[in-house]
Structure 1
Amino acid sequence: MNPTALLMRRLPRRLIPEVRGIRFRFEILPTTWAGRLDVTDRLRQGLSPDAIVHFGVDGSRRTINIETRAVNRATRVKPDASGAHAETALLEPGAERARASTLPVRALHQAAVRSGLPVALSRDAGTYLCNATLWDSIGSGIPSVFVHVPPLPRGRFDTRLSLQQMEKAAILILEEIRRRI
């Protein structure tokens, strides 16, 4: 199972619901190219959030990665959960090549490091849905960032981070964002 779907169910119970008028809203986004546009646009417009923090899983990672940018590229090789492929190789033809994350990535990195877990700043959110979702959120003008986590461990000898460890880092990241808004 995708650990970020589990995080979205667990984090509301672990964070104080509202502090200084700042509340978190947790949603599990569809992992489809169509959902990337339909669902995320509807949420951004309907909620008018002060900030957006996306969490996603990357099977190639073993650390928590805070993405510092999104690139204007989409893989057309890997299908989404519905079997569909990205329509074009560019997310936004004619737009810039990359967009920087608009939340304080270094401060979020330092907050996550306090968890004692391996955390890195990343310049490569990939070319799949995670990157595209971050691209859209940054382009909306709402301060945004994407946090990649590794898959859950498979078996007792797998040294990847546990869900509880990911949750600890996620709480520190979200509390840092709440402190800064």
Structure 2
Amino acid sequence: MKILVTGFDPFGGEAINPAGEAVKGLPNEINGAEIHKLEIPTVFHKSAETIRQAVKDIQPDVVLAVGQAGGRYEVTPERVAINVDDARIPDNEGNQPIDVAIQEDGESAYFTKLPVKAMVAAMREAGIPAAVSNTAGTFVCNHIMYQVLYMIDKEFPEMTGGFVHVPFIPEQVTDKPGKPSMSLTDITKALEAGIKAIVEQAGKGDIKAVGGATH
């Protein structure tokens, strides 16, 4: 099995992106799967073009994109991506789409087929706070999750894909009182545990476990 894992470059005035750094720290093999790591730009559409080219070159079985969700306490595999860009801030090239469809011929939403509940269980077993998330936002993170699932729907039906959000790391919150953070070591550990679960659950679907939310 080949797994392409992507992480964004820094954005929003931050000097570092824990997603990109954690991806760089992953081993080249996890649970027998070959891990390919790629940094992608925090730019609408360009990020998707970068992944699409890598998919054509590598032909992975799985694409797992990783992004920063500053303010979250947990590592959060995402369940669903929606077909809208509504950027609160500009991306790294100044683009700020508002209420724009990501793909005019795409579904209103795509649900991942990755075993997000098994991933959360594996992360928690590794001692890392984790939870299923039901919103990937409307910035470049949701955009790239949607684009990956759109590619699977339209071009690469044998592939699976999804997205994981990670918290700030401590050095990012020195000027953000009250904001939670997680060590880069723990974020990388969580991603590795999640990827192990992806490999172990291949062809089996997800586990049955509580992962819903009341709001």
TM class, shorter-length: 0.7 to 0.9
Q: 1:148 aligns with which of 161, 165, 177?
A: 165
* Residues matched between the structures, number: 176
- Return the structure number with greater relative CO, CA threshold 8 A, min gap 6: 1
After superposition, the C-alpha distances for 1:100-125 in whole angstroms (9 at most, x for unaligned) are: 01211111111111122221111100
- Which ranges in structure 1 are unaligned for 5 or more consecutive residues? none
Asked if 2 retains the 8 angstrom alpha-carbon contact of 1:18 and 1:24, the reply is: no
Counterpart of 1:72 in structure 2 is 83
- Which ranges in structure 2 are unaligned for 5 or more consecutive residues? 1-15, 153-158, 203-215
Tell me the TM-score normalized by structure 1: 0.87
Pairing of 1:155-166 with structure 2 (within 5 A)? 155=174, 159-166=180-187
Q: Which moved more, 1:84-93 or 1:23-32?
A: 84-93
How far residue 85 of structure 1 moved from its aligned partner, in angstroms, is 2.3
After superposition, the C-alpha distances for 1:133-167 in whole angstroms (9 at most, x for unaligned) are: 11111122221110100111234x97521111111
CA distance in 1, matches of 2:187, 2:92: 24
Task: Tell me which amino acid in the other structure corresponds to 2:130.
Answer: V
CA distance in 1, matches of 2:166, 2:199: 20
Q: Greater helix percent: which structure? A: 1
Please tell me whether residue 23 in structure 1 is matched to residue 34 in structure 2.
Answer: yes
Report the RMSD for the aligned CA atoms in angstroms.
2.1
Q: Which moved more, 1:47-56 or 1:31-40?
A: 31-40
Asked if 2 retains the 8 angstrom alpha-carbon contact of 1:102 and 1:138, the reply is: no
CA distance in 1, matches of 2:133, 2:66: 14
Where 2:181 maps in the other structure, the secondary structure is coil
Task: Tell me which amino acid in the other structure corresponds to 2:94.
Answer: G
Counterpart of 1:84 in structure 2 is 95
Where 1:5 maps in the other structure, the secondary structure is helix
Pairing of 1:114-125 with structure 2 (within 5 A)? 114-125=125-136
Where 1:144 maps in the other structure, the secondary structure is strand
How far residue 95 of structure 1 moved from its aligned partner, in angstroms, is 3.0
Task: Tell me which amino acid in the other structure corresponds to 2:47.
Answer: R
How far residue 76 of structure 1 moved from its aligned partner, in angstroms, is 4.2
Task: Tell me which amino acid in the other structure corresponds to 1:173.
Answer: G
Task: Tell me which amino acid in the other structure corresponds to 1:10.
Answer: G
Counterpart of 2:195 in structure 1 is 174
CA distance in 1, matches of 2:48, 2:77: 22
Asked if 2 retains the 8 angstrom alpha-carbon contact of 1:76 and 1:89, the reply is: no
Q: 1:4 aligns with which of 3, 10, 19?
A: 19
Task: Tell me which amino acid in the other structure corresponds to 2:169.
Answer: L
Task: Tell me which amino acid in the other structure corresponds to 1:126.
Answer: G
How far residue 92 of structure 1 moved from its aligned partner, in angstroms, is 1.6
Task: Tell me which amino acid in the other structure corresponds to 2:186.
Answer: Q
